Structure 1
């Protein structure tokens, strides 16, 4: 996989100052829920696991711990800077590659687990992404997705600045009305022939002072170019909306519910089953 990778999908998040920290924090906040999914999947020592669209870490640390020294973990991301950051802290059983998650070029049926998080719901083309994940999983292996449904991203008490940022966030990512991408994955995995397909929606509650308090403003900062280019927030109002939202989130009585993390996974049929 030498050279500069090509890219599929429309991933609008920018690699700004602070983006790596934002992604690492997101992973830490969601670690417990991801761990529960991996418990139910039954990731074991010796497994070979692939984390597609892993960014500067993804879930590779947790996979590395679970598969142990006899197993191996591969993380793949389009952003070569993210890949270099991930390599700098990689465990001995973990390798990171730069490449297109939709067309990896990796051999067929090479992994016990193929995992994807927040890629289909942000970059689109879920059918292609599911097809590639299915190709990469070996018979008896597992394909697992975690995708975001923004309908539950709500703040209490409501605030105009929060609503403006939330609407801008939703406007940057592919959603299909009553059939959002995150929910559609379940059907795509079943259509792809997976067995025992599971469906586990998860919400995270956040209050003022929690580590994830700044989730929405920080994410919108990483989407500045797309938000302004699409006319979702006027450039003259952008920084003001961020500041007003942050002031509201800092108030002691403010809480919010996260987007729904839709965890969906299933097992590839083994020969003779």
Structure 2
């Protein structure tokens, strides 16, 4: 029953997701840039609609190979449509806990995905198995408990955000997963684990401030209906959070920072 709740709450809504499609390696997964060279093989686990995966394929070129895997059939269909004809790039529907292939990869990347898993250690064990000797497992994820706004957001958005964290916690998701991946990597047999801050800050005056800081209004638009259905907030509260937060962005909002860490380790030869 617990796993059913986690799987249902992790499922990405079918509506178009502008957050996913704005992402590239350069703006949302730049920790990978040091690894991406022409000709290497990369597995992108939890690839979503494939925006970052396509960007990875651009970096490794036609002599490389990039495979994106996601459990959501609709997102895989979208990823395939958006990448039609791009050489060295493929997408498969698969589960992070059980996905298997005879291939082994120079880099296995998993970005913003462990946050939606009730058993992140088991997922890491499976991903580690898919890294070839000398290759790298690289994890990028949030600590949602360390989100900061200056000044504080409207009460309606704070109410929504607190409900969002409780809804996640009750499904077994770790809201502070970014700060726990290092320990998990050591537990599954890696010895030298590197941790690199990748925090993302939207500041007033930045060209993309309005778009980037609106992340949480988009979460309320996309994920909010799931919270309403599960009785964590009312529809009125959800809509109020969006309206008041948009007003905060337009008037007094100065900055919004999400806490992200890249946690990476090399497979022994």
* Shorter-chain TM-score tier: 0.7 to 0.9
8 Å Cα contact 1:8/1:100 also seen in 2: no
After TM superposition, list the pairs within 5 Å mapping 1:60-209 onto structure 2: 60-90=53-83, 91-107=86-102, 110-158=104-152, 159-174=154-169, 180-207=176-203, 209=209
Q: Structure 2: give runs of 5+ residues left out of the alignment.
A: none
Whole-Å separation in 2 of the counterparts to 1:236 and 1:162: 12
Whole-Å separation in 1 of the counterparts to 2:108 and 2:174: 27
Going from structure 1 to structure 2, the CA distance change for 1:182 and 1:58 (only over 3 Å counts) comes to farther
Which is worse superposed, 209-218 or 132-141? 209-218
8 Å Cα contact 1:124/1:174 also seen in 2: no
Q: Structure 1: give runs of 5+ residues left out of the alignment.
A: 1-5
Look up the match of 1:3. Answer: none
1:9 deviates by 4.3
Which is worse superposed, 167-176 or 52-61? 167-176
Q: 1:102-159: per-residue Cα shift (whole Å, max 9, x none)?
A: 211323x611111101111123311111011101111111101011111232222212
Cα root mean square deviation, aligned: 2.6
Whole-Å separation in 1 of the counterparts to 2:5 and 2:91: 17
Q: Taking structure 2 as the reference length, what is the TM-score of the superposition? A: 0.85
Q: 1:225-249: per-residue Cα shift (whole Å, max 9, x none)?
A: 4312443322332212221122112
Whole-Å separation in 1 of the counterparts to 2:244 and 2:27: 31
After TM superposition, list the pairs within 5 Å mapping 1:257-272 onto structure 2: 257-270=256-269
